């Protein structure tokens, strides 16, 4: 199947028909088909060995860009394998923008970029912003920042990968038909995908200009706190968060420097979802 997420078209292949059908359903609001379009990346989910197609089915990824330490995944977690494969192509192979391991959301075509390690709360915060506060979801995993012009952010709004405690937080707020299947016992615990609002997917070709950078720190019971990062701190965080800065050379370095010089960055700590939203709204009010 062919699938477009943001600016990239993926050619996705697998002999496991059920896995492809699940993917088609999860990505039902995204452009699919496009047999005549030139695609950017190939991602294939193949049986680990020929007999593992039928006996305790397990898949391995074969794609344009892979990492050696990739481990086989049980067929019941195929959606995760596809997601890993698709993200890996963007993180390692995409060259048109600098890529940050970050979530993002836009309001009036200006964006907040949410950087943080896995588990820091960036997916949940981006889900809350789009589903509870009217922001346009632009991505929960990778933020694509332009290398020239106004250094705008290109949306890459794939389904939001909710994990563990963040799943009930969003189940309270979003109707069940926007969720993918619940995947238990993955390497990250329980994972469930949440489809962004249809409007956000339909607007995925509309760029947004970064106006605010936040690094969330969700700790249950913590008091809300805002701390401005120095430019040096912001550079070090974003530099580590970038998956392709080295590959891009000077344009990547330049884009990162311009971003941290022109956009204020903050650490935000909060103990509840509502507090997290309030902190982002407060900072947004300040930059407007």
Partner 1 sequence: MALYVPVEAVRYEKLDDLSLVFHRLSGETHILSPEMEAIYEAIPAGGADAEQILFRLEAVHGLVEAEEGDPASALCLRLDQLTELGIVRHIS
Q: In the chain, what is the greatest distance between 2 CA atoms, to the nearest angstrom?
A: 59
In this structure, the number of other CB atoms found within 10 A of the CB of residue 281 comes to: 14
**Shortest Å, Cβ 259 to partner 1:** 12
Nearer to partner 1, 197 or 252 (CB): 252
| Angle, alpha carbons 215-217-220 (nearest 5°) | 160
- Please identify which residue in the block is written with the tokens 């922001």: 135
**Shortest Å, Cβ 231 to partner 1:** 4
Nearer to partner 1, 32 or 239 (CB): 239
Residues that bind partner 1 (CB under 8 A): 230-232, 235-236, 239, 246, 249-250, 253, 257, 260-261
Nearer to partner 1, 53 or 258 (CB): 258
Nearer to partner 1, 227 or 261 (CB): 261
**Shortest Å, Cβ 237 to partner 1:** 12
Cβ–Cβ under 8 Å, residues 129 and 147 = no
Take residue 241 and report the two structure tokens written for it.
């968060």
**Shortest Å, Cβ 107 to partner 1:** 28
| Angle, alpha carbons 32-7-199 (nearest 5°) | 70
Take residue 44 and report the two structure tokens written for it.
């294939």
Nearer to partner 1, 65 or 235 (CB): 235
d(CA 43, CA 41): 7
**Shortest Å, Cβ 288 to partner 1:** 24
């Amino acid at each position: 199947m062919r699938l477009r997420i943001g600016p990239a078209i993926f050619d996705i292949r697998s002999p496991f028909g059920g896995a492809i059908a699940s993917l088609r359903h999860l990505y039902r609001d995204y452009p699919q088909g496009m047999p005549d379009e030139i695609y950017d990346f190939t991602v294939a989910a193949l049986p680990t060995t020929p007999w593992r197609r039928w006996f305790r089915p397990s898949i391995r990824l074969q794609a344009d860009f892979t990492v050696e330490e990739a481990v086989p995944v049980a067929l019941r977690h195929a959606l995760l394998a596809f997601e890993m494969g698709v993200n890996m192509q963007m993180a390692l192979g995409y060259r048109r923008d600098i890529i940050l391991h970050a979530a993002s959301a836009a309001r009036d075509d200006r964006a907040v970029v949410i950087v943080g390690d896995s588990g820091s709360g960036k997916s949940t915060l981006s889900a809350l912003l789009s589903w509870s506060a009217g922001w346009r979801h632009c991505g929960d995993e990778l933020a694509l920042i332009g290398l020239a012009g106004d250094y705008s952010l290109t949306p890459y709004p794939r389904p939001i990968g909710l994990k563990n405690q963040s799943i009930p937080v969003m189940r309270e707020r979003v109707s069940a038909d926007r969720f993918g299947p619940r995947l238990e016992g993955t390497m990250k615990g329980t994972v469930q995908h949440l489809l962004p609002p249809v409007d956000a997917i339909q607007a995925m070709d509309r760029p947004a200009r970064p106006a605010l950078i936040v690094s969330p720190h969700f700790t249950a019971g913590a008091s809300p706190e805002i701390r401005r990062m120095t430019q040096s701190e912001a550079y070090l965080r974003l530099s580590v968060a970038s998956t392709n800065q080295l590959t891009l050379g000077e344009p990547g370095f330049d884009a990162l420097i311009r971003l941290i010089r022109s956009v204020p960055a903050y650490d935000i700590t909060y103990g509840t979802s509502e507090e997290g939203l309030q902190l982002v709204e407060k900072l947004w009010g300040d930059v407007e």
